[in-house]
Chain A
Amino acid sequence: AQTVTQSQPEMSVQEAETVTLSCTYDTSESDYYLFWYKQPPSRQMILVIRQEAYKQQNATENRFSVNFQKAAKSFSLKISDSQLGDAAMYFCAYRGSGGSNYKLTFGKGTLLTVNP
C-alpha cells in the first residue's frame, strides 16, 4: 500500500523568505501523480501544484515549485517570497495509476506559519 510521509508537523517562515516543505512516499508503481494541497483555516482545500511522475521537469506555479526526486521518492514544496496568505496546512498527496487509481492518499500535513 502506498504511504505518504510529511516529517514536519509545523514550519514557520518570515514574510518574503523561502520555505521548503518535505514529503516522501512509498510506492511500487512507476507511473503516478503527486500533489500539494493547501488548507487555509476554515476554508476550502485547494490544489497548489501537481507533478506527473513520468515528467522529469519539476512543476512550477508562480511562487510555488517542487523538487521531485523519483529515485529517492521525495517530493518537496518550495514557497518563495512567502506571503501572509500562504499560512495554512499543506498536504502532500499521491495518486497511483493502477487499479485503485481513484484513491488519493494524503500525508498528515504540515502547518505553515508566516511571520510578518
Chain B
Amino acid sequence: EADIYQTPRYLVIGTGKKITLECSQTMGHDKMYWYQQDPGMELHLIHYSYGVNSTEKGDLSSESTVSRIRTEHFPLTLESARPSHTSQYLCASSIGWRTGELFFGEGSRLTVL
C-alpha cells in the first residue's frame, strides 16, 4: 500500500465551522494533489502543488485553501464549512507529471450539517 495518509477519515461538522483535512506522504514526492469526489461521480482536481511553497488551483472551483510548507504535508482548509462542501476529498502524490503514478490516500469524507 502507498505511504500516504489522510485524517480524519470521516468528519461530521456543523455549518460555519473551520476544518482542516490533513494529508501526509512519506515517499518524498514533490507533486501533491487534492481531488473532490461526490458519490458515484468522477474525481475533480481542486488543488495541486509542484513542491514546497507552491500551490495552484485546479479545474473545479473550491472555497478551500491549501498550503505546502513541508514536502510531506499538504493540508486543506475550509474557513467556514457549508452543506455544499459535503463530499469526499482525496489526497494524492506523484513523482512526476507525465507517467508518474498517482498514489492516493484513503480519503476524507466530510459531512456538513
Q: Which residues in A have some Cβ–Cβ distance to B below 8 Å?
A: 4, 9, 33, 37, 42-47, 50, 52, 91, 95, 97, 101-104, 106-109
Contacts and interface: CB of A to CB of B under 8 A. Distances in A.
Can you list the 6 inter-chain pairs with the closest CB atoms, starting with the nearest?
A45-B104, A106-B42, A106-B43, A108-B42, A101-B97, A47-B101
Contact of A46 (B2, B41, B59, B99): B2
A102 B51 CA distance: 13
Contacts, number: 48
B45 A91 contact: no
Interface of B: 1-2, 4, 31, 40-43, 45, 48, 58-59, 90, 92, 97-99, 101-102, 104-107
Contacts of B97: 95, 101-102
A55 B106 CA distance: 32
Question: Which of B31, B43, B58, B92 has most chain A Cβ within 10 Å?
Answer: B43
